[in-house]
Structure 1
């Protein structure tokens, strides 16, 4: 690979989540001098490696969309290529109407193209309502529309409540009746603009996908030892390439220095930079941008977040022999359960099973946008309600040998109707200030690849578009496979 040209510019990245670290890696590959400042005592943000009963697990996000290349490419570039692992199984169920039922196929984020295969998930009335979609007058999506609102108008609330809501809730921990279709399901938004029938729009998406060049390889990818290994490997690669990554360094001031650059205050340290990438959550970014970009700060202040908790449980495998096959199940809120999903981690990820074949590791999640009561309960209560729901869904009645509760307060930004327009306004305001950009989950997607892509866009904005691929040089960790944080 051709070495990156030397760039004397100094880029400061504020925030060492995966977006900030990806930005640092990109800037370093462009030849810039890089400093990363992180307020907390660790890197990684919502990617967090941990362990339970001696087995390594993820305590945050556990998978990356592999059909988008950015995250997998970053893992390969930072020494993790031989630790990439696809799920052993992606067969999932939905726990609704008192039973675990196979997750229907042939849908786009829960929106079906036909009523086939939905018996049991939907009532007879719900099935009949889907069939009437083709008879309804056209429903315009306009510049944006809530997913739940539009789908309910076309196919009925049952489709939203029992299919769309649990799927969207798993990604955004949000409310389908508030979430932007344009931001969260853009392919459906575009298809709906060109079809009078929603089911026809879904079938068109599926037909186009079938006619396109087949995509080989897994849809999702994990990392042996946990996706939480990725930010550790990227941070090590940045350091190995001459960059600086400093934790425990909250930034308290960000100001322009005439027309020459930026002044950053972090504790008793003052840094001067040619360019700054703000990769912090929206409220933090708003506070930092208030002095120089007040209009952008006002927009970011309005971004709402949802909190959630992950409950990880380890059982003796012999006690968990009643678990059904598959990777786990989703739970529609309308069914009145506490958990919103359960993952059979030892079934889904072969490396977890290999680390201790005598254990079965599961995890559940609780908490959606607007829910506060459940997250006010202590850890023991969250474990208890998770066990109650697992018992009701699967018959698993044994006591776990170990438990862990991981709380993600304000962990997931919400994408309500108009989100894309808000992001455009933020970038328009910031675009008036040379050498400044933002990136992260609050903008173009909450998944790992989307965060990495937003980081690359931010760096290319502050350093200028690269003249060729050869200018971006990877910095793999010499002789290492990345860390686990243990």
Structure 2
């Protein structure tokens, strides 16, 4: 503590750590915040750089609009006028040798409309015939967490899992339905699974209960989601230090002692409180000495790697302009590209930036498919180009390309994830002046990360001064 000011260190300069810094500063002038990040830049998986002269996201390209935390943060840091909504939302599935429309009325791939499912052609005749058996089969009630695949396969058959669930979950988590937790990744379906006999009926109820005027599902920023970290950092008033790797964390007489820098010349930073906002493996290493129970649980969270290839083609390279937001590819079809997004169709502001370009991005890599990511950048670009030639009939070369690799970037919410997070939080709760936030806990999207940051900041503010005035400030962050 310096004078009357408390010093809080946030370890990690991704959107969760930066949001935590911003929320901490809402506690008043009595808090000094330092953000430490081992990378050369802030922002984590949020990054926008130019492709053919147009700023295009290299990481997450959007955030859920129907969950408020991300939009609210953008507005509070001065980006409210920069929010943009998609112009095209209908996606397709590239499967069984053709692009097929994603069936209407689904819940994360779980169909509710058998007519739309049949018309889409995503499933084979045999796979389609299996789905309505869900309505007459005995109940598959569950009283513990199970994998997404185990429950949905039992109700609707393997093809729904392989050709609808897998590509959607692969797009979000780059994971495998046989491992991913039903409770953590599809909570609405998990609730139904504890009480409903028919999954089809449950999906119909979920669709019917959804607000009809909820607005767009996703939103982004005109300059890309990569603009958000810089704006949050500037608004936070925190001291931002990049290229600073925290190697150790220990309890001190008052607060915490962090060790940074090279081993021969360590730098010690004293803090009254710490928020750890780094991925699970790094958090595990930092907590190993003082919170070994949490460290052990964090070490068990797997992470998937992926790469994004962004291409900029002249408009005339496409025999027919792309329609829809893009397409997903089921792993069962054995293609290296797991998804393609027609960025300048999905986001009209990108088309306005250069009407003569078609910008698109191809996602490569799922858990267990690390071999394809061993190829060099030129080979990944060649894969994406070949995909566009085969699927879209593209002629000629792109004007520009970019490869962005995200190694170990997507936490896997395997079966038992919610219980693991509860154990982590219980262990951390015993340590005054310590909090965690980030994608490893309650969701990997931007709004979920911001929510964990807000909760972590409130915990720290309450610890620093549990007086009535500060308690009101802390409570205001979580209300």
TM-score w.r.t. the length of structure 1 is 0.92
Provide the C-alpha distance between the structure 1 equivalents of 2:428 and 2:206, rounded to a whole number of angstroms: 35
Task: Say whether the 8 Å CA contact 1:122–1:158 is kept in structure 2.
Answer: yes
Partner of 1:400: 398
**Larger RCO: Structure 1 or Structure 2 (Cα < 8 Å, ≥ 6 residues apart)?**
1
Partner of 1:102: 101
Count residues with an aligned counterpart: 461
Deviates further, 6-15 or 411-420:
6-15
| Offset, 1:342 | 0.4
| Offset, 1:190 | 0.7
| Offset, 1:397 | 2.9
Task: Say whether the 8 Å CA contact 1:323–1:396 is kept in structure 2.
Answer: no
Partner of 1:423: 421
Provide the C-alpha distance between the structure 2 equivalents of 1:313 and 1:339, rounded to a whole number of angstroms: 14
Deviates further, 428-437 or 107-116:
107-116
Partner of 2:467: none
Residues 48-73 of structure 1: per-residue CA shift (max 9 Å, x gap): 11111111100000000011111111
1:144 counterpart SS class: coil
Provide the C-alpha distance between the structure 1 equivalents of 2:471 and 2:97, rounded to a whole number of angstroms: 55
1:373 counterpart SS class: helix
Partner of 2:431: 433
Task: Say whether the 8 Å CA contact 2:134–2:156 is kept in structure 1.
Answer: yes
Provide the C-alpha distance between the structure 2 equivalents of 1:253 and 1:468, rounded to a whole number of angstroms: 31
Change beyond 3 A, Cα 1:330–1:41: same
| Offset, 1:469 | 8.3
Partner of 1:270: 268
Task: Say whether the 8 Å CA contact 1:114–1:130 is kept in structure 2.
Answer: no
| Offset, 1:379 | 1.0
Provide the C-alpha distance between the structure 1 equivalents of 2:336 and 2:393, rounded to a whole number of angstroms: 16
Provide the C-alpha distance between the structure 2 equivalents of 1:409 and 1:271, rounded to a whole number of angstroms: 29
Partner of 2:11: 14
1:176 counterpart SS class: coil
Q: Does 1:26 align with 2:31?
A: no
Task: Say whether the 8 Å CA contact 1:50–1:57 is kept in structure 2.
Answer: yes
Partner of 2:167: 166
Residues 451-466 of structure 1: matches in 2 within 5 Å?
451-464=449-462, 466=471
Residues 298-309 of structure 1: matches in 2 within 5 Å?
298-309=296-307
Task: Say whether the 8 Å CA contact 1:85–1:221 is kept in structure 2.
Answer: yes
Residues 432-464 of structure 1: per-residue CA shift (max 9 Å, x gap): 101101110111100000000011111112222
Partner of 2:141: 140
2:337 counterpart SS class: coil
| Offset, 1:468 | 5.5
Q: Does 1:256 align with 2:251?
A: yes
Provide the C-alpha distance between the structure 2 equivalents of 1:397 and 1:417, rounded to a whole number of angstroms: 45
Residues 219-253 of structure 1: per-residue CA shift (max 9 Å, x gap): 110100100100011111123xxx21111111112
| Offset, 1:315 | 0.5
Partner of 1:51: 50
Change beyond 3 A, Cα 1:110–1:226: same
TM-score w.r.t. the length of structure 2 is 0.93
Residues 435-450 of structure 1: matches in 2 within 5 Å?
435-450=433-448
Task: Say whether the 8 Å CA contact 1:161–1:332 is kept in structure 2.
Answer: yes
| Offset, 1:91 | 1.5
2:324 counterpart SS class: coil
Task: Say whether the 8 Å CA contact 2:27–2:473 is kept in structure 1.
Answer: no
Structure 2: state its 5+ residue gaps: 463-469
Partner of 2:179: 178
| Offset, 1:140 | 2.3
Structure 1: state its 5+ residue gaps: 1-5, 474-486
| Offset, 1:366 | 0.6
Change beyond 3 A, Cα 1:280–1:367: same
Provide the C-alpha distance between the structure 2 equivalents of 1:195 and 1:472, rounded to a whole number of angstroms: 36
Provide the C-alpha distance between the structure 1 equivalents of 2:476 and 2:134, rounded to a whole number of angstroms: 51
Change beyond 3 A, Cα 1:256–1:229: same
Residues 378-401 of structure 1: per-residue CA shift (max 9 Å, x gap): 111111111222222211232111
Partner of 2:239: 244
Partner of 1:483: none
Task: Say whether the 8 Å CA contact 2:251–2:290 is kept in structure 1.
Answer: yes
Deviates further, 139-148 or 280-289:
139-148
Provide the C-alpha distance between the structure 2 equivalents of 1:174 and 1:382, rounded to a whole number of angstroms: 20
Change beyond 3 A, Cα 1:135–1:470: closer
Change beyond 3 A, Cα 1:247–1:305: same
Q: Does 1:332 align with 2:327?
A: no
Task: Say whether the 8 Å CA contact 1:7–1:33 is kept in structure 2.
Answer: no
Q: State the 4+ residue runs in structure 1 displaced beyond 3 angstroms.
A: 468-473
| Offset, 1:323 | 3.7
Residues 85-121 of structure 1: per-residue CA shift (max 9 Å, x gap): 0111111111111111111111110011242212211
Task: Say whether the 8 Å CA contact 1:83–1:223 is kept in structure 2.
Answer: yes
Provide the C-alpha distance between the structure 2 equivalents of 1:91 and 1:41, rounded to a whole number of angstroms: 37
Residues 301-322 of structure 1: per-residue CA shift (max 9 Å, x gap): 1110000000000111121242
CA RMSD of aligned residues (A): 1.7
Task: Say whether the 8 Å CA contact 1:141–1:193 is kept in structure 2.
Answer: yes
Change beyond 3 A, Cα 1:299–1:341: same
1:440 counterpart SS class: coil
2:439 counterpart SS class: coil
Provide the C-alpha distance between the structure 2 equivalents of 1:342 and 1:429, rounded to a whole number of angstroms: 41
Partner of 1:73: 72
Residues 236-294 of structure 1: per-residue CA shift (max 9 Å, x gap): 1123xxx2111111111211113x21111222432222211000011110110011001
